[in-house]
Structure 1
């Protein structure tokens, strides 16, 4: 049947295009080209807007099968997310989401699209090495319809600053090899060719070749190695300080009060307090300390003077005392 139809089609007369038809076809193609250009322009504009807007919220995406499988140093996920939480707190950024996912392209695409849309500042950790399972760059490129392109400056920095490993004594940058191909994976970045390249790759220090790839205006791709993650995250501070809700970067304040009372005994008071202070942007927290004599009550907010005004009342109602860190002066509960 298919062959008969094909034969029939072959014998159908082809339409002749006159000048009018050609003009219409050309106009249609031109219109489509302009539409594509316009769509790219809108995408670029949206990315530039994300790259410039005030930062209120943040999210951290930790990527790696080994993290979920427990085969890596637990510091990789725990330290990186904890470090980012403290970093955001110090700058007054609300860290709203920490998520751990596997090295799966579909998972990465879904998560990074969702986070980029919902949060002002997004950081990913892990999956940017030279091996087959390091798929963060390629997955994020697909997430936003971008090409993976060799970043020339990152490549030159890599050649200059990376030291040859003793297991690869004959390696040469001038000779094509599987090792060179693997290393190039780390400097092939998701690039939007319609945007300023300088906004899409940042370098922390002159002695580090590892770039911070910035995608869709607000997704910052960092390595999972804790020491590198922390160094590169800190290097972002001067880039975003002017975009914070408080440009002076004074951050969020926390008051910690230690109480000998059990949570159930102070729950009613804390509920009333939380409702009273919520309109002023203050959050009230209560945290039991297992195996200790004292529990912890916290007040968190941006208005330090208002927080200080609440301290005497809270101390009185929870029969507690103010401390500088959780667990300060506590001893193990008697058994």
Structure 2
């Protein structure tokens, strides 16, 4: 699960078009919009947009259940972290914990759980020790109050539950980084959005949670991949029947078209490797395909046309 989150971070933290959901803070007309008819929705001016990505293969396993991208809006963050904290055992957030005005993750999550933002002394001391001098602030001093110091301190005022053990609410996975992982409500883990830092801290988090993981190394998830020249509609009936037959064993059947390619992909995913292997010959026969180790490995090389001069 940790490695899959790192892969998703590299993908999702690239620049992307600004798809956002309607913010609760701008919901004066929300009631009327909810009651709108399909025809009204089909003709209204487009002010907001959303993108919903659906598929087991995107999440890549049994543990990771949801990935959301939301805007820097307090109400959006409050709603999302409350809901996800209630629904999932382990939640990671990424981004919005820098020194600028739009970095509102800490204050929003504090509000979500009725907590105070409190200066974390250990994080502050580590920040002073490990922060390198900046060319943009050559005369900066930790002993002198300044806008630059105030901005930096925003990053070490953490959401703290004063009734709980402080050691459980801020983790330091890397000795060479001052950045803490703030842990709120027991299962919300707040990480920076910079991909390099996110991946490093996420990997460093593993020793803190490994004894709670169902499958620490991800070895319990087994996937068989079958490449087929048949179209999805031609095998849909068989795959539907197969999915019903194997569901009691915890096996999920996937079907994925590969546009522009000769072959499509069928997958069998679950924890019972022996049972999945027993299904492979049948699936190969029914979809007129063959077993492959990686999707697309049997693709024919593309022919590049050349022109004579």
Q: Among residues 64, 82, 87, which one is paired with 1:113 in the alignment? A: 82
> Closer, same or farther in 2 for the Cα pair 1:193/1:145, shift >3 Å?
same
Partner of 2:108: 139
User: Of the two structures, which has the highest relative contact order with CA contacts closer than 8 Å and spacing of 6 or more?
Assistant: 1
Partner of 1:278: 247
Structure 1 or 2: more strand by fraction? 1
- The runs of at least 4 aligned residues of structure 1 exceeding 3 Å deviation read 60-64, 246-249
SS of aligned partner of 2:65: strand
Partner of 2:265: 296
SS of aligned partner of 1:273: helix
Does structure 1 residue 98 correspond to structure 2 residue 47?
no
Partner of 2:147: 178
Q: Among residues 291, 294, 297, which one is paired with 1:325 in the alignment? A: 294
CA contact (8 A) 1:251 1:302 kept: yes
1:176-210 CA-to-partner distances (Å, cap 9, x unmatched) read 10001101111111011111111111112111111
Partner of 1:241: 210
Partner of 2:278: 309
1:157 deviates by: 1.1
SS of aligned partner of 1:186: coil
CA contact (8 A) 1:63 1:102 kept: no
> Closer, same or farther in 2 for the Cα pair 1:257/1:221, shift >3 Å?
same
- Unpaired stretches in structure 2, ≥5 consecutive residues: 20-55, 304-309
CA contact (8 A) 1:155 1:187 kept: yes
TM-score (norm 1): 0.72
CA contact (8 A) 1:63 1:101 kept: no
Partner of 1:127: 96
Cα distance in 2 for partners of 1:220, 1:63 equals: 18
CA contact (8 A) 1:200 1:214 kept: yes
1:248 deviates by: 6.5
Cα distance in 2 for partners of 1:151, 1:240 equals: 22
Cα distance in 2 for partners of 1:290, 1:278 equals: 28
1:203-235 CA-to-partner distances (Å, cap 9, x unmatched) read 121111111111000001111111111111112
TM-score (norm 2): 0.78
1:69-113 CA-to-partner distances (Å, cap 9, x unmatched) read 38xxxxxxxxxxx9x946xx4xxx522211111100011001100
- Unpaired stretches in structure 1, ≥5 consecutive residues: 1-57, 71-81
Structure 1 or 2: more helix by fraction? 1
Cα distance in 1 for partners of 2:162, 2:244 equals: 50
Cα distance in 1 for partners of 2:134, 2:300 equals: 49
1:267 deviates by: 0.8
Cα distance in 2 for partners of 1:132, 1:63 equals: 23
> Closer, same or farther in 2 for the Cα pair 1:154/1:251, shift >3 Å?
farther
1:317 deviates by: 1.1
Size of the aligned set, in residue pairs, is 259
Partner of 1:29: none
SS of aligned partner of 1:141: helix
Does structure 1 residue 255 correspond to structure 2 residue 224?
yes
> Closer, same or farther in 2 for the Cα pair 1:261/1:221, shift >3 Å?
same
Partner of 1:188: 157
CA contact (8 A) 2:128 2:142 kept: yes
SS of aligned partner of 1:209: coil
CA contact (8 A) 2:59 2:65 kept: no
How do 1:58-97 residues align onto structure 2 when only pairs under 5 Å count? 69=18, 85=59, 89=61, 93-97=62-66
